[in-house]
Amino acid sequence: MSTYSIGRLDGSTIALSEEDVSNFSKSLHGELLTPDSTQYDEVRAVWNGMIDRRPGLIVRCHGAADVVQAVNFARQHKIRVSVRGCGHNIAGSAVCDGGLMIDLKLMHAVRIDAMKRTARVEPGCSLADFDHEAQAFGLATPTGINSTTGISGLTLGGGFGWLSRKYGMTIDNLLSADVVTADGKLIQASKELNPDLFWAIRGGGGNFGIVTSFEFQLHPVGPEVLSGLIFHPFEDAKQVLEYYRDFVAGLPDETVVLVVLRLAPPLPFIPEKWHGKAVVVFAACHAGDLDEGERILQPLRSFGNPITDVIGPHTYAAWQQAFDPLLTAGARNYWKSHNFEKLSDGLFATMIDYVKQIPSPHTEIFIGAIGGQMNRVEETETAYPHRSSDYIMNVHGRWETAAEDDACINWARNFFRDTTKYATGGAYMNFLTEEETDRIRAAYGPNYDRLVEVKTKYDPENLFRSNQNIVPGKVALS
């Protein structure tokens, strides 16, 4: 009888019999894949092309009962576990070598209650899946800015985007969640039920269990928003960045503007002579009255000598997908991020210097002006603590071939190092790469010790460790 060699929590392997694996498969409504399955390579692939790991088994869950079976099987055999929603996380934590990958991608139902303005969302949903259903009723909740992102990982890490200045982070709009914990129990977490778990999953990542359903508060949004891009020549970068700093300081909560430095992509609305040249880009969105948005954004549109201005009315769902063509799956990605309370002249000078050396036409630096409702929540109210930061920067390294790895990664690391003195020292968990375990404590700041307590209560053996891991008390991380 053949056996399956599966990685365990302590780093060793266990030889599971064909009978063990067959019985596990029969207990599922979904499908169990092995390395010999035809879909194996397709399912184990994630968004970041640098991640190439081979699970010993993959369980494709069709519902919460399958998740319970998978967790019980992993705990019984002390198997290393990873959990995939949409596989979009930069660190590639959705897939582990040798262990059991619990794939939730087939759980992608969305149910809208238009009267209560709530949504029930399964963990395999992308932001596009969510928006498609909610926008049919003119509703939305704050999520991210790339529609292929998974709702599960985004939410568990915090979540912010075009609506966050007005309505807060994704976690600020989470009403409840159904969670399978490490002991194989399906429980509900909310402010009334298991409030310690509810607090922890709002920013604490996948450390505490597997969420099988999210309940969100929805808000009237769209169907149209005033949104779009303004491209400026890089030779004007200093003045453009200084103007950006002054402009965003006085914006109402309905308006968000990001600034991006990169090489101009070959998009049809950019004159061809600018393709491949360094530019500074404003990305703006006003999620309120369109006429009021025109008035608010007019000074931004009148400033300087823009290359092109494509701001106008767009459906909210379409705007959420505007950056998807630049962020398709399979490219090699490496990120570095900082939080800022202010944007200094020294930071701008360093950004300009590094863009002159940018190693790939797909690489960019973006700064998002956040604040608003995000800042009106106390730092200990949710696991995500960085409520005083008004800006988040992501150094988004992206390129095509392994031969470019060293140049692109070193550029990102050096830029991160040279801008650290301007930053708060905090971090946004969803932007951390797999190597940045030394930043976990800083990412959680005053909430870290409480997170350890919750982790110890719900996952004392650290079954859920394929993440930016919070180690339970008195348990060594293998």
- pLDDT digits 0-9 by tens, 119-155: 999 999 999 999 999 999 999 999 999 999 999 999 9
Within a domain: 299: yes
Beta bridge partner(s), residue 261: 280, 365
- Classify residue 472: in a domain, yes or no: no
Q: Is 469 a domain residue?
A: no
**244, 342: one domain:** yes
CA distances for 126 relative to 122, 155, 163, 196, angstroms: 10, 11, 17, 27
Same domain, 197 and 252: no
Non-local CB neighbours of 298 within 8 Å, separated by 6+ positions: none
145 and 191 share a domain? yes
Q: What was the pLDDT predicted at 478?
A: 45
Residue reference for tokens 């030889």:
15
The model's pLDDT over 193-244, given as tens digits with 9 standing for 90+, comes to: 999 999 999 999 999 999 999 999 999 998 999 999 999 999 999 999 999 9
DSSP string for 14-62: EEEEHHHHHHHHHT-SSEEE-TTSTTHHHHH--SSTT-----SEEEE-S
What would you measure as the largest C-alpha separation in the chain, in angstroms? 74
Note whether 256 and 387 are same-domain residues: yes
pTM for this model (two decimals): 0.94
The pLDDT assigned to 334 comes to 96
Whole-number Å distance between alpha carbons of 55 and 101 = 6
Q: Are residues 237 and 190 in the same domain?
A: no
Query: Is 471 among the domain residues?
Result: no
- So what's the pLDDT on residue 434? 83
Rounded to an integer, the average pLDDT of 295-319 is: 97
Number of residues that this document lists for the chain: 478
Mean pLDDT is lowest, of 31-45, 331-345, 397-411, 426-440, for 426-440
In order, the DSSP letters of 131-161 are HHHHGGGTEE----S-TTSBHHHHHHH----
Residue 467 belongs to some domain of the structure = no
User: Which CATH number belongs to the domain containing residue 94 in this structure?
Assistant: 3.30.43.10
Per-residue confidence band for 477, with pLDDT thresholds at 50, 70 and 90: very low
CA dist 36 and 40 (Å) reads 7
Average pLDDT, the chain: 95
Q: Residue 281 maps to which CATH number?
A: 3.40.462.20
**42-54 residue pLDDT tens:** 999 999 999 999 9
Residue at token pair 């929540």:
377
Q: pLDDT > 90: what percent of the chain?
A: 92
pLDDT at residue 61, as a whole number = 98
Whether 173 and 200 map to the same domain: the answer is yes
Residues 413 and 317 in one domain: yes
In a domain, 468, yes or no: no
The beta-strand segments (E) located in 364-421 are 364-369, 391-399
Helix (H/G/I), strand (E/B), else coil: 308: strand
User: How many structural domains does the chain have?
Assistant: 3
166 neighbors 190 (Cβ within 8 angstroms) = no
Residues 88, 159: one domain? no
Based on the fold, state whether residues 7 and 121 are members of the same structural domain.
Answer: no
Q: Are residues 299 and 390 in the same domain?
A: yes
Q: Which structural domain range is residue 51 located in?
A: 3-103
